[in-house]
Structure 1
Amino acid sequence: MLIGAVFGFATAAVTGSAALGLLVAGVPGMLASLIFAVLT
């Protein structure tokens, strides 16, 4: 979850769009969860 939060915050800070930050936060969060699910 921290990975998604970092990417979302960085995107929102750079672009100024909270909606875009929310959308971008989902992708790395899902990928990190998928990797963790496969490894465990």
Structure 2
Amino acid sequence: MNIIKSRLRNRIGDEFLNDCLVTYIERETFDCIDNEKIIQSF
């Protein structure tokens, strides 16, 4: 069970880091997006 939990945690961490990396690389594109629009969509 510990192995499964560790792998799941690592996978979630990797996905989060990948999303953050894409956001950082494409920051010029994301700077054009208003935060209020994002908040309203959720």
Q: TM-score, normalised by structure 1?
A: 0.52
Percent of aligned positions with the same letter in both sequences? 8
CA RMSD of aligned residues (A): 0.7
**Displaced runs of 4+ in structure 1, greater than 6 A?**
none
Aligned to 1:23: 7
Higher relative contact order (CA 8 A, sep 6+): 1
Structure in which a larger fraction of residues adopt helix? 1
For residues 3-36 of structure 1, what are the alpha-carbon distances to aligned partners after superposition, in whole Å with 9 as ceiling and x for unaligned?
xxxxxxxxxxxxxx11111111111100000000
The count of corresponding residues between Structure 1 and Structure 2 is 24
Q: Name stretches of at least 5 consecutive residues in structure 2 with no aligned partner.
A: 25-42
Q: Distance in 1 between matches of 2:7 and 2:14?
A: 11
Q: Name stretches of at least 5 consecutive residues in structure 1 with no aligned partner.
A: 1-16
